[in-house]
Structure 1
Amino acid sequence: MDLFNQSSFQNKLPFILPQKEGYSYFFDEDKKAFIISIPNGKLIFVPNFFDENLSSELMNYFLENDNNLNWNKIDWREFEKEKLSEINFATINWTHNQIKIFGKLLFEPRFSAWYGDEEAAYSYSGLKLKPNPWNEKLLFIKEKIEKLIEEVEKIQNKESLKFNSVLLNWYRDGQDSMGWHSDNEKELGQNPVIASVNFGVPRRFLLRQINNKSHKLEFYLTNGSLLIMAGQIQHFWQHAVPKESKINEHRINLTFRKIKM
């Protein structure tokens, strides 16, 4: 199949792969998913996992608040740091966390929230997160992703890949970002599967090999898109969401994962 002639992608793939041995892909027409093989890993990319209307509805749901603030029209940088606690969000307990970088405590360049099973505690960059309880919409998204993975991977044991937690990141504009890192914390176990779903303004998502940083991949993550990272990716690759100065709109990313108890 010649993917470059598919009108739904406007003659252009929504990702960039190195033109090297070990990188390949095919398109699952039934699931509307790209299945991508890379050295030491596998990716599943669904550009239109949620349609535009549902994606917009979920974006509103995540930022609904009892302060009668129109989340899309105010400057959320006025609520940096501790001031965020003044907002009573109706569905998500957003926080502005401090992380330790080179021994210094700095506020993250984004807002975040941690949800999941009661025992699914998580630690990274000096943070120790206790989960908020699941809500209806987060469970809906989680179960839809799990169903797709079961169908694509033909998993017989449906309990083998049930996510028990999700990290939500709210990027207020293109100045908010995520630096290069791997999701390789001990709580995630060996070869974790990470499912990332995106709402709001499209943003670039980059991957690079740890031992050869010239080998890079780039994805254009649009409203309602889903990217799943599997295999040994978290041990051999890093990923990042770079700053984009021209972007003035919001993006919310949810990364579902399974914490080993």
Structure 2
Amino acid sequence: MKLFHKNDTPPESYCQGDLLYWPGFYSNQQANEFYSACVEQLEWRQEQIKMFGKQVTIPRLQAWYGDADAKYKYSGLPLTPLPWHETLLTIKEHCQKQLNTHFNSVLANYYRDNNDSMGWHSDNEKQLGLQPTIASLSFGQERKFCVKHKCSGEKINLTLQSGSLLVMQGDLQQNWQHALPKSTKPLQGRVNLTFRNIHNLESS
């Protein structure tokens, strides 16, 4: 896997699985405005997922928005999209223009403090396709983002800044896992928006 920063020239092919990172995709003022709008206006829920045969409450709040047919399911949790919110549409358009791709949905996560987290996983559901492009926006508190190779155990840690854009694409989901761990020090809230394209398998 390769990590490309804002001023790097991305390769023509992403088949090895790559991370692209733009730390200042939005200004501090824009990031603060988007953070407040998301926290105050999105319909947050604390869901339960299935892990090792048991129902577990996830340690964060989340919301699923998108096109009407962008239904998604992970870890036994079915998600029916809420209609697009104006703020989410604005950010989606910015990402689509930057990456020259299309997204039909977004999974929003709200990490309220240092105790909220995301465990090790890959976004490799069939509905996402073999080589999904996922655009991840961060607003609010900086948090550590970890990536681990499934076979070698190699790890890469990044500090995701407010207003940053992180893109995962190519074979990354097949070969790597990622996580956002808890922290021992007090932290403020963070909103993470992960834009993706859901394929309707029933109609394909």
Length-normalised TM-score, structure 2: 0.92
Q: Please name the residue that 1:135 is paired with.
A: 85
CA contact (8 A) 2:25 2:165 kept: yes
Tell me, yes or no, if structure 1 residue 168 matches structure 2 residue 108.
yes
Listed as ranges, the gaps of 5+ residues in structure 2 are none
CA contact (8 A) 1:165 1:258 kept: yes
Partners of 2:107 and 2:6 lie apart in 1 by 28
CA contact (8 A) 1:198 1:226 kept: yes
Indicate the SS of the match to 1:229.
Answer: strand
Match of 2:118, as an amino acid?
Answer: M
1:228-243 equivalences under 5 Å are 228-243=167-182
Aligned counterpart in structure 1 of residue 155 of structure 2, from 204, 216, 221:
216
Shift of 1:39: 8.4
Tell me, yes or no, if structure 1 residue 104 matches structure 2 residue 54.
yes
Tell me, yes or no, if structure 1 residue 48 matches structure 2 residue 24.
yes
Q: Output one character per residue of 1:156-191: Cα deviation in whole Å (capped at 9) or x when no partner.
A: xxxxx2100000000011111001000000110111
Shift of 1:247: 2.9
CA contact (8 A) 1:35 1:43 kept: no
* Identical-pair percentage: 46
Could you say which structure has the larger radius of gyration? 1
Q: Please name the residue that 1:83 is paired with.
A: none
Shift of 1:38: 8.8
Q: Output one character per residue of 1:118-145: Cα deviation in whole Å (capped at 9) or x when no partner.
A: 0000001110000000011101101101
Partners of 1:172 and 1:117 lie apart in 2 by 27
Aligned counterpart in structure 2 of residue 186 of structure 1, from 112, 115, 126:
126
Aligned length: 199
Q: Which structure shows the higher strand fraction?
A: 2
Indicate the SS of the match to 1:224.
Answer: coil
The RMSD of aligned alpha carbons is: 1.9
Match of 1:177, as an amino acid?
Answer: S
Q: Output one character per residue of 1:60-86: Cα deviation in whole Å (capped at 9) or x when no partner.
A: 11122xxxxxxxxxxxxxxxxxxxxxx
Shift of 1:55: 0.8
Aligned counterpart in structure 1 of residue 165 of structure 2, from 221, 226, 232:
226
Partners of 1:173 and 1:244 lie apart in 2 by 9
Length-normalised TM-score, structure 1: 0.72
Match of 2:46, as an amino acid?
Answer: H
Q: Which structure shows the higher helix fraction?
A: 1
Higher relative contact order (CA 8 A, sep 6+): 2
